[in-house]
């Protein structure tokens, strides 16, 4: 077949001066050919896109399932870690029947309240703690049925039994099975190297199943309405990505921040110190650092007289005062610093690039700042509230971060022993434990003129 364009050129060359009735027809065929070729190309491209979409939608079904399972594993695992941070294993070890709760009533109620907050924050159905007593297992804390289920013996599931072997065990259901039940996680709680219980978190599998079924409906709609569903898929992916990032950030905050004060918690503190002390990279600490172990003297008086809600508010005020004062001090000298809450009424502050004289001055100033704050002094005077501070130095006292915090704690205890509302710098004569502090104080008081 001769192309219309070639034929037209031949006619024009031979009969340039004569009008040819075939010219319009040739141009029409040429235009129709271009349109047909274009339409065919579009049809081929559309078919390829359609076929590719159908193929990848089939692959995406299994991929979506694996993504949902992985997200569920991450959520359950992080929730277990966040809940475990709230459990005092010493108290848990002492709780063997309901009568033991009376001795730990305040701590028990506060722990249960904190677990309930974790449940609400992550959207869990239930958070509970299992305690092993001899060869039996009973629920000690239960956010869903604390009155009916607490201190009742139960039979362990296979997942819980596996967790008692010493590792976290996750039981994540198939997202395609709407009757699969709960997604569960069990994290061992250790005391003196032995597993004494589990913290368990349960999530309803229905939201994941709903998400999986929704993805299948989207895939089917993509096969019938490609363009519209591609836009919807993109929008859904953006929303899910942003939501996932928000959830990850929320879980990170729950695992690394104190829920009452907003300060970094014990876990974050020791992660931070490990990075500064043990990391061989550029983040390794290369200057002196002071650790200040701060404890609120007689804080129990506030809880006993005006209630735990007011006690929590007082803790938050104290946390803000400590953090703000350290940040102002560090900003003036451009030093690295951190304020963290260990738990209860105990805080740890870190300040880098400071010598012993500077640490002494800072400890004295923070006590004065506490005493002179008008909001804090209202209760301080009424209930004899003050600060006791212990100071330890890197590298003067130790080059290991665990000992840095421990020595500051020992020095703080010494401050309490000698009368409170003061600070003490750690001295090797205080020993390696709190018992050594008591002996040191007795010896100091026994000296002539003491």
- CATH at 182: 3.30.450.20
pLDDT of residue 186: 83
Please indicate, yes or no, whether residues 210 and 137 belong to a single structural domain of this protein. yes
Please indicate, yes or no, whether residues 82 and 194 belong to a single structural domain of this protein. yes
In a domain, 244, yes or no: yes
| Last residue in a domain, options 195, 218, 250 | 250
Residue 131: domain span: 36-250
In a domain, 120, yes or no: yes
In a domain, 418, yes or no: yes
* The Cα angle at residue 92 between residues 86 and 98, in degrees rounded to 5: 120
In a domain, 5, yes or no: no
User: What is the number of residues in the chain?
Assistant: 450
- CA dihedral of residues 208, 209, 212, 217 (deg, nearest 10): -140
Please indicate, yes or no, whether residues 200 and 314 belong to a single structural domain of this protein. no
Please indicate, yes or no, whether residues 244 and 273 belong to a single structural domain of this protein. no
Please indicate, yes or no, whether residues 273 and 246 belong to a single structural domain of this protein. no
Please indicate, yes or no, whether residues 231 and 278 belong to a single structural domain of this protein. no
The strand order across the sheet containing 346-352 reads 337-343, 346-352, 289-297, 386-394, 423-425
Please indicate, yes or no, whether residues 353 and 220 belong to a single structural domain of this protein. no
- CA dihedral of residues 37, 42, 47, 52 (deg, nearest 10): 130
User: 105-122 and 226-256 helices cross at what angle (nearest 10)?
Assistant: 160
Please indicate, yes or no, whether residues 191 and 124 belong to a single structural domain of this protein. yes
Residue whose entry in the numeric block shows the structure tokens 């077949």: 1
- Report which of 435, 122, 379 is spatially closest to residue 254, judged by C-alpha positions: 122
pLDDT of residue 244: 56
Please indicate, yes or no, whether residues 62 and 116 belong to a single structural domain of this protein. yes
In a domain, 308, yes or no: yes
In a domain, 55, yes or no: yes
Angstrom distance (rounded) from CA 351 to CA 255? 23
| Last residue in a domain, options 193, 218, 250 | 250
Task: Give strand pairing partners of 351.
Answer: 290, 337
Please indicate, yes or no, whether residues 245 and 274 belong to a single structural domain of this protein. no
Model pTM greater than 0.85?
no
Q: Look at the chain and report how many structural domains it folds into.
A: 2
Is the CB of residue 175 less than 8 Å from the CB of residue 205?
yes
Please indicate, yes or no, whether residues 239 and 353 belong to a single structural domain of this protein. no
In a domain, 376, yes or no: yes
In a domain, 31, yes or no: no
Angstrom distance (rounded) from CA 292 to CA 411? 9
pLDDT of residue 223: 62
From first to last of its 450 residues, the chain has per-residue pLDDT tens of: 444 444 444 333 433 444 444 444 444 444 544 544 454 455 555 566 666 666 566 556 666 667 777 877 788 888 888 888 888 888 888 887 778 788 888 888 888 888 889 888 888 888 888 888 877 888 888 887 755 456 778 888 888 888 888 777 777 766 666 566 677 888 888 888 888 888 888 887 666 666 666 766 666 666 666 555 454 445 555 555 566 566 567 777 778 899 889 999 999 999 999 888 887 665 567 789 999 999 999 999 999 999 999 999 999 999 999 999 999 988 877 888 999 999 899 999 999 999 999 999 999 999 999 999 988 888 888 889 999 999 999 999 998 999 999 999 999 999 999 999 999 999 988 877 665 555 444 444 444 433
């Amino acid at each position: 077949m001769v192309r219309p364009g070639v034929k037209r050129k031949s006619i024009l060359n031979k009969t340039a001066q004569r009008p040819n009735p075939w010219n319009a027809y040739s141009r029409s065929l040429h235009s129709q050919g271009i349109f047909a070729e274009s339409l065919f190309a579009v049809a081929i491209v559309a078919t390829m896109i359609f076929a590719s979409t159908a193929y990848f939608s089939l692959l995406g079904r299994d991929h979506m399932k694996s993504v949902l399972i992985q997200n569920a594993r991450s959520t359950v695992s992080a929730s277990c870690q966040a809940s475990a941070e709230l459990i005092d294993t010493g108290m848990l070890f002492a709780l063997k029947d309901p009568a033991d709760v009376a001795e730990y009533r305040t701590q028990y109620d506060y722990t249960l309240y904190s677990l309930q907050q974790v449940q609400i924050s992550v959207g869990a159905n239930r958070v509970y703690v299992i305690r092993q007593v001899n060869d039996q297992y009973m629920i000690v804390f239960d956010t869903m049925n604390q009155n009916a289920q607490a201190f009742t013996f139960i039979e362990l599931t296979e997942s819980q039994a596996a967790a008692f072997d010493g590792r976290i065990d996750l039981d994540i259901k198939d997202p395609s099975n709407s009757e699969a039940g709960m997604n569960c996680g069990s994290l061992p709680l250790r005391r003196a190297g032995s597993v004494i219980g589990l913290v368990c978190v349960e999530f309803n599998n229905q939201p994941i199943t709903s998400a999986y079924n929704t993805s299948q409906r989207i895939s089917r709609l993509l096969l019938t309405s490609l363009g519209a569903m591609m836009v919807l898929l993109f929008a859904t992916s953006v929303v899910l990505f942003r939501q996932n990032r928000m959830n990850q950030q929320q879980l990170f905050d729950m695992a690394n921040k104190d829920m009452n004060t907003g300060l970094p918690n014990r876990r974050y503190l020791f992660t931070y110190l490990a990075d500064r002390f043990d990391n061989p990279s550029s983040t390794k600490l290369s200057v002196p650092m002071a650790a200040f172990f701060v404890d609120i003297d007689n804080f129990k008086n506030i809880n006993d007289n005006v209630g735990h809600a007011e006690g929590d508010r007082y803790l938050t005020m104290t946390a803000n005062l400590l953090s703000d004062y350290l940040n102002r001090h560090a900003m003036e000298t451009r030093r690295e610093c951190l304020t963290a809450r260990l738990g209860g009424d105990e805080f740890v502050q870190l300040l880098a690039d400071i010598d012993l004289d500077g640490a002494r001055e800072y400890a004295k100033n923070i006590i004065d700042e506490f005493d002179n704050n008008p909001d804090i002094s209202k209760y301080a005077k009424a209930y004899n509230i003050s600060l006791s501070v212990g100071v330890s130095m890197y590298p003067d006292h130790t080059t290991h971060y665990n000992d840095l915090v421990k020595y500051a704690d020992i020095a703080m205890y010494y401050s309490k022993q000698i009368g409170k509302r003061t600070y003490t710098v750690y001295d090797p004569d205080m020993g390696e434990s709190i018992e050594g502090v008591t002996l040191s104080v007795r010896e100091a008081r026994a000296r002539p003129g003491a």
